[in-house]
């Protein structure tokens, strides 16, 4: 909390000087900034001051303008000062009037120093809490503004995965009554090693799509975007392909990036958007697998988006991979292997090829959605694919596919561990740079896209101490350095290490070091 400014008002100069000298104002984070001999002088000082006065100590009986008139004038101005009355009048009517004006405290002269100290402590606590409430309100409002796009993205991803909630559509930004919808995935060619500015590309693509409909765009990963577009007519939807092709060409010319698009089917109801998205994913899966193949190659065997994997079967394999359970993955692939081996006379060679391609495409999609490439999993990936394509018997095709999936299961924890290490590094850097302000685990968790509980667990495992304890340690170590700087003040150091209440800081510092901040200096 910043230093509190105090104004003393009394028609007796010796009272003003005595009050100024008797109290150690700095210990309470306060400073006397002015004196006045009556209410009018006080109002003049307040109007001339660029910075508001936080606390006013005033007598009642004064010439020209008394303390009650001053209080009434401040009340009509909505001036945000706390007023303490010091008076020799103990009549009930005076006290009653003081209460009606909302005066903070009513003290009778002669006032003992202990009474003033208790009032100062209460004032500090009350003002500190009021400012904290104001700052918290501002923080929540700002955080809501900052997190709104992230919240919209999460809702969109939930909707794309099938959790459709019509009442949230308007909040997300999608028109609820559009006659047509379509989902499009835009992605960078996997061969590109550099990570492009996807936010810039998202804006370019959304601007292009606006010529046809109303797009909502979100980042798929570090190399792709998702567009959900609503159209006012089928004719407008027809124009989308040309508009996005032109945008893709512009991206290629300006940024030297090959950016391609795959499309889900046009749908006539918003609840069908998840299906359109799954169709776009299937199309991208095929594209990822087919990159670099000659025309008339593997892509021609996938007519009309047909797949050998029913959704439930494919999900079982995905669940086993995401669970990083190599035994389940192996058992699933073994079952497929034996099933097609026993029935190979029922399936032509092209059918077995198609099955193997489905498995490889699914693996490619898993890697892509985690910002990884097949080459990072297996540098000899192309050679393995060529080997698979030369054979048509299950005994020749399934062993290399099983080997790739085993590598995938082993590879995912490494990718996750790398991400976790990056998250912890970001945590430590953020704490180091923000010791002067409030630090919340929830805010950092949002920045690294982890839940607060999970990030807290990771942090304790990596650092050896809990998040809150670590932050306090770093604040105290920073405070020790600042207190040794000549001319440093306790309340200033308290603010510089993130504590608005100097008394609370002093308490924590003594618990940490064994001495008060003033003694440590």
Q: Which two tokens stand for residue 135?
A: 């700052």
| C-beta separation of 467 from 453 below 8 A | no
Per the rule left: phi > 0, alpha: psi between -120 and 50, beta: everything else, 372 is beta
Strand arrangement of the beta sheet that strand 214-221 belongs to: 214-221, 224-231, 180-188, 259-263
State the residue for tokens 């087919």. Answer: 290
Q: Within 10 A of 21 (CB to CB), how many other CB atoms are there? A: 9
Q: Which of 183, 181, 162 is nearest to 263 (CA)?
A: 183
Burial status of residue 67 (CB atoms within 10 A of its CB: 0-12, 13-18, 19 or more):
buried
Look at residue 380 and tell me whether its pLDDT is greater than 50. Answer: yes
The share of the chain scoring above pLDDT 90, in percent, equals: 24
Tokens 């400014």 found at:
5
CA 507/CA 521 separation, integer angstroms: 15
pLDDT of residue 291: 46
Whether pLDDT at 370 is above 70:
no
Per-residue tokens: 335: 């079952």
Can you tell me the mean pLDDT for 230-235? Answer: 90
Strand partners, 217: 227
pLDDT over threshold 70, residue 289: no
- Nearest CA among 180, 234, 375, 233 for reference residue 291: 375
Closest CA to 476 of 432, 504, 513: 513
- Token pair, residue 402, equals 């099983």
Q: How far apart are CA 8 and CA 11, in angstroms?
A: 10
Greater pLDDT, 164 or 407 = 407
pLDDT reported for residue 297: 35
Q: Across residues 380-400, what is the average pLDDT?
A: 79
339 with 346: CB under 8 angstroms?
A: no
Q: Please report the pLDDT score of residue 327 as a whole number.
A: 86
- The pLDDT assigned to 305 comes to 40
* 431 vs 375 pLDDT, higher one: 431
Q: For the chain, give the mean pLDDT.
A: 80
- Running DSSP on this structure, what letter comes out for residue 56? E
**DSSP letter (8 states) at residue 86:** E
- 69-120 per-position pLDDT tens digit: 998 899 888 898 999 988 776 655 666 676 677 788 888 888 888 889 999 9
Closest CA to 210 of 245, 172, 174, 243: 243
State how beta strands 224-231 and 180-188 pair: antiparallel
Q: Is the pTM of this model over 0.85?
A: no
- Is the separation of the CB atoms in 35 and 85 below 8 Å? no
pLDDT of residue 303: 36
Q: Which of 96-105, 163-172, 246-255, 278-287 has the highest mean pLDDT?
A: 246-255
Least confident of 122-131, 366-375, 490-499: 366-375
The per-residue pLDDT for 210 is: 94
Q: For 39-58, how does the pLDDT look when each residue is reduced to its tens digit (9 = 90+)? A: 999 999 998 888 889 999 99
Q: What are the φ/ψ torsions at residue 309 (nearest 5 degrees)?
A: -100, 110
């Amino acid at each position: 909390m910043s230093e509190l400014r105090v104004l003393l008002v009394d028609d007796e100069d010796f009272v003003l000087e005595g009050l100024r000298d008797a109290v150690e104002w700095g210990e309470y984070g306060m400073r006397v900034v002015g004196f006045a001999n009556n209410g009018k002088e006080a109002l003049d000082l307040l109007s001339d001051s660029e910075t508001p006065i936080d606390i006013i100590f005033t007598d009642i009986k004064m010439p020209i303008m008394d303390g009650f008139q001053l209080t009434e004038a401040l009340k009509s101005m909505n001036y945000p000062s706390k007023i303490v009355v010091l008076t020799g009048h103990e009549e009930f009517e005076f006290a009653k009037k003081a209460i009606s004006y909302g005066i903070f405290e009513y003290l009778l002269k002669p006032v003992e120093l202990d009474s003033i100290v208790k009032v100062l402590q209460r004032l500090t606590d009350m003002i500190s809490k009021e400012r904290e409430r104001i700052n918290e309100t501002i923080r929540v409002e700002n955080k809501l503004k900052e997190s709104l796009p992230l919240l919209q993205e999460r809702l969109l991803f939930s909707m794309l995965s099938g959790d459709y909630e019509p009442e949230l559509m308007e909040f997300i930004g999608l028109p609820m009554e559009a006659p047509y919808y379509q989902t499009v995935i835009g992605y960078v060619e996997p061969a590109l090693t550099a990570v492009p500015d996807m936010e810039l590309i998202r804006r370019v693509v959304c601007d292009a799509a606006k010529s046809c409909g109303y797009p909502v765009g979100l980042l798929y990963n570090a190399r792709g975007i998702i567009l959900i577009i609503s159209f006012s007519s089928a004719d407008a939807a027809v124009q989308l392909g040309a508009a996005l092709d032109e945008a893709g060409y512009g991206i290629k010319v300006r940024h030297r990036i090959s950016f391609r698009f795959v499309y889900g089917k046009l749908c006539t109801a918003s609840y069908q958007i998840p299906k359109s998205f799954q169709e776009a994913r299937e199309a991208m899966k095929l594209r990822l697998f087919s990159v670099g193949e000659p025309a008339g190659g593997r892509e021609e065997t996938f007519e009309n988006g047909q797949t050998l994997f029913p959704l439930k079967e494919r999900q079982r394999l995905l669940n086993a991979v995401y669970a990083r359970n190599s035994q389940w993955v192996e058992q699933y692939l073994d079952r497929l292997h034996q099933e097609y081996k026993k029935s190979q006379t029922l399936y032509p060679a092209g059918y077995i090829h198609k099955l193997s391609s489905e498995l490889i495409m699914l693996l490619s999609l898993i890697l892509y959605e985690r910002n990884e490439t097949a080459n990072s999993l297996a540098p000899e990936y192309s050679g393995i694919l060529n080997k698979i394509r030369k054979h048509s018997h299950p005994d020749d095709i399934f062993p290399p596919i099983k080997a790739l999936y085993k590598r995938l299961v082993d590879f995912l924890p490494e990718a996750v561990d790398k991400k976790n290490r990056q998250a912890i590094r970001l945590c430590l850097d953020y704490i180091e740079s923000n010791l002067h302000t409030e630090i919340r685990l929830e805010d950092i968790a949002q920045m690294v896209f982890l839940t607060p509980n999970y990030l807290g667990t990771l942090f304790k495992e990596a650092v050896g101490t809990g998040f809150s304890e670590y932050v306090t340690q770093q604040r105290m170590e920073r405070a020790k350095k600042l207190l040794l700087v000549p001319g440093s003040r306790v309340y200033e150091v308290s603010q510089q290490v993130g504590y608005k209440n100097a008394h609370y800081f002093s308490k924590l510092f003594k618990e940490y070091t064994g001495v008060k901040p003033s003694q440590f200096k």
